[in-house]
Amino acid sequence: MASSTPYTVRWGIMATGWIAEVFTKDLLANPAHRNVNDVRHEVAAAASSSSKDRAADFLSLVKAPSSAKAYGSYHELVADPDIDIIYVATPHSHHFQNAMLALEAGKNVLCEKALTVTASQARKLVETARAKGVFFMEAVWTRYFPLSIQVRDLISSGAIGNVYRTIADLSVGRDAADGKIDFADSNRMVNPDLAGGALLDLGIYALTWVFQTLYHVQPEEQKEAPTVVAAINKYHTGADETTSMIVQFPQHKSHGIALTSLRVASDVDGKGSGGASIRIQGSTGEIQVVGPAYCPLQYRVIKKDGGGQVEVVDCPIPKDPESGWGQGMFWEADECARCLRDGRKESKTLPWSESIAIMDVMDETLRQGGVVYPEVITTDVYDAQSPLNTGKRAYERTHVHGIYEAIAPHFSATRYKPWPAVGSFLRSRAAGAVGLDVGCGNGKYLGVNPDVFMVGSDRSPSLITLARGRCMQLQAQQGNTAGAGTGGEVGGAVVGTDVLVADGLSLPFRERAADFAICVAVIHHMSTRARRQEAVRQLLRCVKLGEAGQAGGQVLVYVWALEQGTSRRGWDEGGEQDLLVPWVLKSQQKQQKKQRGTKNQDIGGGDSNKGGGAPPTPTVAAPAEPGAAPSHTDLVFQRYYHLYRRGELEEDVLAAGGVVVSSGYERDNWWVVAANEPVPQGQQ
């Protein structure tokens, strides 16, 4: 006899954004108001990768029970034994690493669409779920709507004969008057760092209708992988803005036409005047699905011999009268609960093989359109400490700040000679000028021009200690014995040096106070483009504006280049841009030799000046270079770098609100001299 007690599922919510809010509120809606009495849901916990307080605020917002726990990391969430299933609600760029984190912890997982960025990632998730013996499903909520179920049943029953073509469109019409799209470049919809673009965010719904009407309804033995011919218009960020696909199922002689765009809209006036966004065409009739492809609420059945009669069926989403809430995401949650209750590891409504088949089509579409995403979000190598799992700040603490804090004395010993071009820039500054060196490291640039006042900052306290010692040496050489932070005078202007610990993304300097700033080999350590652009914005904020036609303060930025084909590292155009570059810390015996003249080995080369964080865990070194002898006592620290492609640094300056004064390439680095936009005449 079946139990009269509803089966209860305890949910853990990974991420606290808008989609997580909608889903969680749906979980808390009374299932009886949608005629569901066999399953129910509880919110056991939520996690934010940034802070516990943010998770607590989220739980308060959705009115979760007081027993729900707030976590400040995803690792804590997946370790909670009181959670039955994890809902992954992060951006789809993060899905692979986040879902793997939960699966590896032995948790059942419902992962938002698009399941992953690549098909290989989707396969890896399925393999892991199978190996762990846990439930895993892609959260394409539309699949579980009563409307979708009814449409599939009509097709399977032959209501419109053999289905030969499905046309589906989901487009949002965000074309702007200036020729751009009405999203900031950092927005997930157009940001390649977040796998932005129309296809993965919107086009998957168009493909969902193609697949559930032409593929899913076929007998298992007759399902075939389709072919796809695609066309893509790319936005200036590199993401797809308009994508069209013809998906062919040769065995059944059927075509799916899937359309998506950020430029034009499926519903041109927002009132349904444009007609059905989905048309399912069979040999004896047609089904038209009305409303947005992700949340349609009506369908029409038109028979070929129906004499003009149209059957209209409305499928509204029930609301919980107590909360007034109900968005339709509860149906996919109910499916998860029933699968867990019945011991099923995948849903029959959206089996693993079908999620992978759809990802294959999107893979090929992006390939044909030339859309390429960063390696950090396309890799199918799982990393529990990936920034996508730990959060960008924690990742930088591990792979940047903590490393430079740990290796500071040894790093400093290899960083003693200023680069010629940077030196020329500094020596060209006017006597008495005030300058900033952001990411100053050991302070090697502070004394290049003794006629200016330089303030150095760095994230690493240990490097700042070394830089402070350099300041004292410089001032002693200039006859100033009062210690670091004092200076002399040149023509009545105070000159000298000072240093302090500061974060490059939150500089403590007064706005528009500096005459110039330098930032050498620092910004490439920031793990997202938004953070790199913010670093440039901070530099520009600190330098003076031009007055009455005169030039304002200038900022010199150096970053590692991707195009290093002639160097021993061999990085070049078209290669991966986000890398972990090892720093080899020699054994104690070799350190003693080093003090007599040898150097530590920086496999990456170049210069870098970031530090300050928890000491990282090094690994035992492999041979440092081809042909180098291995040492079992050497330690390797993996430092994060973003390698800048040609033109990317200039793009970031413009995105930060600056102008490019000059730019170029030197010693495997791209550099730019930037300034603020000139103040219009009369507005000074």
Condensed to tens digits (0 to 9), the pLDDT of residues 329-364 reads 999 999 999 999 999 999 999 999 999 999 999 999
The CATH classification number of 394-564+645-676 equals 3.40.50.150
pLDDT (mean) for 269-280: 91
- Indicate whether 428 pLDDT > 70: yes
pLDDT tens string 312-325? 999 999 998 988 89
- What does the domain layout of the chain look like in residue ranges? 7-142, 146-314, 394-564+645-676
Confidence of residue 583 (pLDDT cuts 50, 70, 90): confident
d(CA 507, CA 514): 12
Mean pLDDT rounded to a whole number for the chain: 87
Can you read off the two tokens belonging to residue 615? 């000491």
Q: Which of 90, 254, 104, 262 is nearest to 189 (CA)?
A: 262
Length of the chain: 684
User: Are the C-beta atoms of residues 461 and 402 closer than 8 Å to each other?
Assistant: no
pLDDT of residue 313: 98
Residue 598 has pLDDT above 50, yes or no: no
DSSP state at residue 1: -
What is the rounded end-to-end Cα distance, in angstroms, of the chain? 82
Cα–Cα dist 217/3, whole Å: 32
Helices (H), 105-237: 119-132, 146-156, 198, 204-214
Which has the higher per-residue pLDDT, 393 or 287? 287
Indicate whether 623 pLDDT > 60. no
Cβ 598 vs Cβ 576: under 8 Å: no
Q: Where are the beta strands (DSSP E) in 129-226?
A: 136-139, 163-171
pLDDT in tens, 459-498: 999 999 999 988 888 777 766 444 444 454 434 333 478 9
CATH number of this structure's domain 7-142, picked from the four choices 3.40.190.10, 3.40.50.720, 3.20.20.20, 3.20.20.80: 3.40.50.720
What Å distances lie between residue 592 and 68, 132, 476, 589, CA to CA?
Answer: 55, 49, 29, 5
Q: Tell me if 240 sits within 8 A of 233, measured CB to CB.
A: yes
How, if at all, do strands 163-171 and 136-139 pair? unpaired
Bridge partners (DSSP) of residue 489 are 494
Compute the average pLDDT of residues 656-662: 93
Look at 64-73, 266-275, 511-520 and tell me which has the smallest mean pLDDT.
Answer: 266-275
Tell me the pLDDT band of 186, cut-offs 50, 70 and 90.
confident
Angstrom distances, CA of residue 404 to CA of 109, 442, 523, 532, 574: 37, 11, 14, 19, 29
Structure tokens at 420: 């010629």
Q: What is the 3-state secondary structure (H, E, C) of 2-32?
A: CCCCCEEEEEEEECCCHHHHHHHHHHHCCHH
Position 601 pLDDT exceeds 60: no
Does the fold of domain 394-564+645-676 match that of domain 146-314? no
Beta-carbon contacts of 335 under 8 Å, excluding residues fewer than 6 positions away, are 137, 144, 347, 349
609 pLDDT more than 50 = no
If you average pLDDT over each of 159-168, 181-190, 404-413, which comes out highest? 159-168
Residue 669: predicted pLDDT: 94
Superfamily name with CATH number, domain 146-314? Dihydrodipicolinate Reductase; domain 2 (3.30.360.10)
Q: What is the DSSP letter of 643?
A: P
% of the chain at pLDDT higher than 70? 88
DSSP-based helix, strand, coil % in the chain, nearest 5? 30, 25, 45
Is residue 590 pLDDT above 90, yes or no? no
**pLDDT score of 40 more than 90:** yes
Q: Is the pLDDT higher at 221 or at 597?
A: 221
Q: Return phi, psi of residue 583, to 5°.
A: -115, 125
> What pLDDT shows up at residue 110?
99
The one-character DSSP state at 472 is H
Q: Specify the pLDDT at position 529.
A: 87
pLDDT at 640 over 50: yes
pLDDT category at 266 given cuts 50, 70, 90 is very high
Supply the DSSP symbol for 322.
Answer: T
* Per-residue pLDDT, 3: 65
pLDDT(620) > 60: no
Query: At 549, is the pLDDT very low, low, confident or very high (cuts 50, 70, 90)?
Result: low
